[in-house]
Amino acid sequence: MEQVLSWHRLLAVIIKEFIQLRRDRLTFAMMVGIPLIQLVLFGYAINGDPKHLPTVVVTHEQTPFTRAIVQSLENSGYFQLVAANLGDAEADKWLEQGDAQFAVIVPAGFSKKLQRGERPQLLVAADATDPSATANAIGALQQLSQQWLQHELSGPLNTLQGKTQPYELVIQRRFNPEGLTQYNIVPGLMGVILTMTMIMMTALAVTREVERGTMENLLATPVRPLEVMLGKILPYVLIGFVQVGVILAAAELLFEVPFIGSVSWLLLGVLIFIAANLSVGITISSVARNQTQAMQMTFFFFLPSMLLSGFMFPFRGMPFWAQQIGEILPLTHFIRLTRGIMLKGNNITDSWPHMWPLLLFLFTMLLVGVLRFRKTLD
């Protein structure tokens, strides 16, 4: 009776599998590289407690009290002064464009009212489009504000250091007053879904044609490489807009996410972002030899995009090197673009700093994709 399990045959199959893995260097590199990327990103780049957040100051008067408040903010570690002596409109612009996370506004007559014991207001405005980026800083702000003027309120002013704080700290959570996470997640999720589906579908579509041999039939026609490339990606542009329509409808009907800005300007940004991701998919398809490798390379691009774009974790909480990598990825700029248009009502001028990197990435990847694709067809 023949044995059910032969150790010699089993060992032969195992050896054969290791030989195939050795020949498929890309798969082996993915098996080693993806865990290393996850380890490095989660170990070093991910930080849920961002510090040194860019802060602008609007001071309508220059007194020892206002200087002590500004100095105490910087000493806390959560705030980094990037501009001072701004006007109210200028500070609002910094917040709308995303260049500042906080704006501290000291009103006129603050010091006189403080000395008279009238409890003047000190306003701190926060860009709360991403609540996780400001939550810890706001919590620290409320605790540290009781200690800011202890040194200045001495001598005759020592009576102001009672149980009640000598001034009223007013915190405004701009663009997301209730701190709802869906206001932050839903616009970002649109970019994540488009990144995953557009790259994967395009890469698989081309490699599938090569595997089935239908690409040879296509090459027998007088079609040029650029025409083949555009013909493969244009149908997925329509699919991408269908996905965007579904997401925006869900954002309005299910999550009640506000849409303050221009729909046409958002759709233009969506078009550029979709084209950029499709160009990445075409480039991957020109490198991958089969659909398995195309899937692996897609995930290799998608994982850093999701982790380093500011979608899952605060962007400003990451170290400098991780932020520089994130600035290269199109998802980073698309998330800023969509949040700015939907939550802040950004116009063309406000959105342009996030639009031109998408255009640069698109033209770069389109050029690389065409050259690689032409070489593949030849």
CB-based burial, 335-356: b 16+ in 10 Å, e otherwise: bbbbbbbbbbebeeebbebbbe
pLDDT tens digits along 363-377: 999 888 777 766 655
Please report how the helices 25-40 and 7-23 are oriented relative to each other, as an axis angle in degrees rounded to 10: 80
CATH architecture entry for 53-174: 3-Layer(aba) Sandwich (3.40)
pTM of the complete model: 0.86
**Residue whose token pair is 């490198």:** 287
Count the helix, strand and coil residues of the chain and give each as a percent rounded to the nearest 5: 65, 10, 25
Return residue ranges of the chain for CATH 3.40.1710.10.
53-174
H/E segment holding residue 172: strand 168-174
Residue 373 confidence (pLDDT): 67
Query: What Rg do the C-alpha atoms of the chain give, in angstroms?
Result: 27
pLDDT tens digits along 124-175: 999 999 898 898 999 888 887 767 666 666 555 555 565 567 788 899 999 9
Q: Is the pLDDT higher at 345 or at 220? A: 345
Distance CA 195, CA 78 (A): 32
Backbone angles phi, psi at 139, to 5 degrees: -60, -45
User: What is the identity of the amino acid at 319?
Assistant: P
Highest mean pLDDT among 17-31, 130-144, 340-354: 340-354
Backbone angles phi, psi at 274, to 5 degrees: -60, -45
